[in-house]
Amino acid sequence: MRRVIGFLVLAVILIGIAFGIGALPGEIGATVGSWTIQAPLPLVVVAAVILFLVLYFLLRLLALLLGAPGRFGRSRHERQLRQGDRAVTRAFAAIAAADPRAARREAQRARRLLPNAPMALLVSAEAARLAGKPDESEADYRALSEQPDAAFLGLRGLLRQALDARDWTLAADVARRAELAHPGAAWLRSERARLALRTGSWAEALALAGPEAPRAVMATAAAEAAGDPIQALRLAKDAFAADPKLAPAALAYARRLRAAREARKAENVIEKAWAAQPHPDLAAFYLDPVTDPLERVREAERLAGFNRNHGESNFLQAQVCLAAKLTGEARRYAQAALAAGLDQRRLWVLKADIEEADAAAGGGEGATFAAHEALRRSQTARPDPRWRCSTCGAEPGEWHAACPSCGTVGRMEWTDRTAPASGVAANGAANGTITLLPGAVT
- What is the band of 84 on the pLDDT scale with cuts at 50, 70, 90? confident
Is the pLDDT assigned to residue 399 strictly greater than 90?
yes
Instruction: Tell me the domain boundaries of the chain.
Output: 1-110, 133-211, 212-386, 387-442
Closest CA to 410 of 378, 432, 387, 430: 387
Is the preceding peptide bond at 118 cis, omega within 30 degrees of 0?
no
Is residue 159 a contact partner of residue 170, using CB atoms and an 8 Å limit? no
Burial zone of 409 (CB within 10 Å; 0-12 exposed, 13-18 middle, 19+ buried):
buried
**122-179 tens-digit pLDDT:** 889 999 988 888 888 989 999 999 888 889 999 999 999 998 888 888 998 999 999 8
Is the pLDDT assigned to residue 25 strictly greater than 70?
no
Task: Quote the CA–CA distance of 232 and 219 in Å, as a whole number.
Answer: 9
- What is the band of 58 on the pLDDT scale with cuts at 50, 70, 90? confident
pTM over 0.85: no
Is residue 194 a contact partner of residue 441, using CB atoms and an 8 Å limit? yes
pLDDT recorded at residue 11: 65
263-292 mean pLDDT: 96
**360-384 tens-digit pLDDT:** 776 666 778 888 888 999 899 999 9
- What is the band of 274 on the pLDDT scale with cuts at 50, 70, 90? very high
pLDDT recorded at residue 235: 94
Residue 40's H or E segment, with its range, is: strand 35-40
What is the CATH architecture assignment of 212-386?
Alpha Horseshoe (1.25)
Task: Quote the CA–CA distance of 391 and 399 in Å, as a whole number.
Answer: 14
**Alpha-carbon distances, residue 159 vs 83, 178, 196, 221, 295 (angstroms):** 31, 8, 14, 26, 59
Paired residues of 412 in beta bridges? 389
Residue 39's H or E segment, with its range, is: strand 35-40
- What is the band of 29 on the pLDDT scale with cuts at 50, 70, 90? low
